[in-house]
Amino acid sequence: MSARIFIDGQSGTTGLGIAERLAAIPAIELVRLPEEKRKDPAAKAALLREVDLAILCLPDAAAKESAALVAELGQSAPRLLDASSAHRVAPGWVYGFPELADGQTEKIRSAARVSNPGCYATGAIALLRPLVDAGLVPADHPLTINAVSGYSGGGKTMIVDYESGIAPDFELYALGLEHKHVPEIVAHARLARRPIFVPSVGNFAQGMLVSIPLFLDALPGGPKAADFAAALAARYVESEFIRVLAADSQDRLEAQSLNGSNALELHVYGNEAHRQALLVAKFDNLGKGASGAAVQNLGLMLGLDVAP
């Protein structure tokens, strides 16, 4: 028997990516509202009663409205997977990063409501949470997180601007230091101090690098870069999608080679002479950073063997 799935907001970048990944899976039946009833609450409620799981690919305000509508359905309500940033630190929602910590996969499997991680947050948390848990980076340590994303992460308007040649080749943004991914980074990396987060976008469609520089002598215990690599490798040794790569002699790292996959690579670079290290996460902002992660979570929630 097929699992019936409704993508609320399927026309957006993340929704399209999820639909494309699910379309070829025989155990999945994608259900859609007729276009003329897309904004009809009664029609949406009727459809939600008939599906096993709904995926919210909506702006935050609309995602909250849909979640409230589902809550009103009581025993007829489907399970929810929210790809917006509306519920990533909300009570009653399980954070959809299976590799976060021991037991997180089981929490996702049994949850009624799962919030898919943000793209930048995925890289930052993957790097920081194991190091905070291991005591290598204190929770209150001052951190700077830098990141660059392909323009597909900015939605339809940004995609049009870049593909029509209107947008610049590279730009920093969120310079008010209020990016919406910061609260989930703080919460799920277990930070006690808000980091400085500096995102940017480049003139390429997909791909992401998240980097965190560290002064080793500012950390307790005098760690080496190899200690960070060992802690990350120990955390993700059994992960299907996250791999920790040994540092090599290359002094450049491009952002796009993992596009189309759900893989996430973690790199640790160090200069012992200067007592400095650089942590880098590399992945597809539309893969492990969005649609791929959503399909991974959907597979866990429904007990299906799906390829994200």
Q: Which of the residues 58, 86, 119, 167 is marked catalytic?
A: 119
Burial group, residue 119, by CB count within 10 angstroms (0-12, 13-18, 19+): buried
Answer yes or no: 57 catalytic. Answer: no
| CB-CB contact of 79 with 56 (8 Å) | no
Burial group, residue 60, by CB count within 10 angstroms (0-12, 13-18, 19+): middle
Q: Within 75-213, where are the H helices? A: 104-110, 119-133, 155-163, 182-188
Q: At what angle do helices 155-163 and 13-23 cross, to 10 degrees?
A: 90
Amino acid at position 28, single letter: I
Both tokens assigned to 81: 């997977």
CB atoms closer than 10 angstroms to residue 288: 30
Burial group, residue 105, by CB count within 10 angstroms (0-12, 13-18, 19+): middle
List 81's β-bridge partners, or say none: 55, 114
- Show which residues are catalytic: 119
